[in-house]
Amino acid sequence: MGLIYLDANLLIYVVEEVPEFASRVTRRIEAVVRSGNERFAISPLVKMECLVGPVRSGDLALQGYFETFFLRLATLAMPEAVYRNGAILRARFGLRTPDALHLACAQHHGCQALWTNDERLTRAGLGLAKNILSDPA
């Protein structure tokens, strides 16, 4: 059974019901869930990025929706090796620190894919990262 790492932007689209993206992301996730062959995973960094908006606005209900959604996903640890590889990815590909850490975490845990809506991550991922909103599959 494979792991698919979900970038924070995709969770934000789904939980906050962003009109132009939420249904497309949800359909892709549901298709994988129906197949039963993969699991979805996130990192503590994804949780942090998702919670910034609700905490900043004081939206406790939205914060609760995120916390509930997180329970449906595997949470991957981010040991020191993730940070070391993140530094290499950041230097090599010019990624922002959070993006380099997402990619490094997915690589460290042997994820079969990193789903995102970020073309920079897609390019740096060398086949691991997939922009699922530009990919027709």
Q: Is residue 24 part of a domain?
A: yes
CATH number of the domain bearing residue 126: 3.40.50.1010
The Cα–Cα gap between 63 and 61 comes to 5
pTM: 0.94
Q: Is residue 137 part of a domain?
A: no
Q: Is the dihedral of CA 94, 120, 112, 74 positive or negative?
A: positive
Q: Is residue 136 part of a domain?
A: no
pLDDT tens, position by position, 51-97: 999 999 999 999 999 999 999 999 999 999 999 999 999 999 999 99
Q: Is the pLDDT of residue 137 over 80?
A: no
CA distances (Å), origin 129, targets 12, 36, 86, 101, 126 = 18, 21, 15, 13, 7
Q: Is the pLDDT of residue 1 over 80?
A: no
Are the CB atoms for 128 and 103 separated by under 8 Å?
A: yes
Range of the structural domain that residue 111 is part of = 2-131
Q: Is the pLDDT of residue 105 over 90?
A: yes
Residues 6+ apart with CB under 8 A from 76: 3, 5, 41, 42, 43, 105, 106, 108, 109
Q: Is residue 75 part of a domain?
A: yes
The Cα–Cα gap between 132 and 135 comes to 5
Q: Is the pLDDT of residue 39 over 90?
A: yes
Number of domains, the chain: 1
Q: Is residue 18 part of a domain?
A: yes
Task: Please report the pLDDT score of residue 36 as a whole number.
Answer: 84
